[in-house]
Amino acid sequence: MEIIHTIKALKTFLQTFQNEKKKVALVPTMGALHKGHLSLIKMAQQQADVVVCSIFVNPTQFTDPKDLEKYPRPLVHDIKLLKKVGCNVVFMPSVKEMYPAPENWQINLGPAEFLLEGEFRKGHYQGVTQIVKKLFDAVNPDVAFFGQKDFQQVLMIKNMINHFNLPVKLVSCAIIREEDGLAMSSRNIHLSTSDRKNALILSKSLAFAKDNFKQLSLTELLSQAVTMIKNTPGVVLDYFTIVNGDTLLPIADKNEKNPVALVAAKVGETRLIDNELLG
């Protein structure tokens, strides 16, 4: 497994494969890897000849400096996991490498940028798309893999790809969950034992919405799911909503295409998000 720290060295390494028309896949991460990330690597291995996993904690997407500061960075652990799963290349640039000079980044990501997470974390998706575009430029991938858990992020990256008309295929991969249903997340490490138990209400509320989607009205679904969460100690709900997966606007009719239930809440001191496809 190659470990590369500069864009120039990465481009040089990948050039041989690209000259031979080998398919290159990118799995962008911020490290603190878990089985969810590894599932993306395995999916990429099935669809490409060379898999590049990037590890970069991107400062421009953090709206709270404290969140950036406490983001876990277990690099030795991450490298070990990537070697075990057979990843070809790990790209671990410095902040200076990715942002050599101050820059202004503001692109039109559509109205959905300002909904849900966009409302709670203003400017977050500008930072996300800024770094993903830089990674695309560095790797020049044929295909890129992202986790469905960050549903809105995937939509924003799709919009960024369309904005620049990039020749990259985006693949959204299913959420990987713990045995008890909790969505795997790098942030789960911050949950205390009681927080971890209380956090299960997020996946339970989503499962309730999925199981009862055909039987109950939208009003009943939302009301009961919200009540479940609000009755759980240590959990402060930001939103539970059922939306059109293309626009992120609340659906008015259960026959609308691509319905998705999305939830975000603070459990103890840790903010978690999760979702479930209802279609």
Answer for the pair 258, 245: CB distance below 8 angstroms, yes or no. Answer: yes
Q: What is the DSSP pairing of strand 143-147 with strand 169-173?
A: parallel
Instruction: With CA atoms as reference, report the closest residue to 94 among 110, 81, 77, 75.
Output: 75
Coil vs helix vs strand at 101:
coil
List the alpha helices (DSSP H) in the chain: 7-19, 35-47, 65-70, 75-85, 95-98, 117-120, 124-139, 151-164, 193-198, 200-211, 218-230
The two three-digit tokens of residue 98, written as one number: 């990715």
Q: Is 104 helix (H, G, I), strand (E, B) or coil?
A: coil
Cβ pair 182, 203 in contact under 8 A: yes
For residues 238 and 266, is the Cβ–Cβ distance under 8 A? yes
Catalytic machinery residues: 37
CA distances from 179 to 28, 47, 132, 151 (A): 25, 27, 31, 21
Element (H, E) at 90: strand 89-91
Contact 67, 115 (CB under 8 A): no
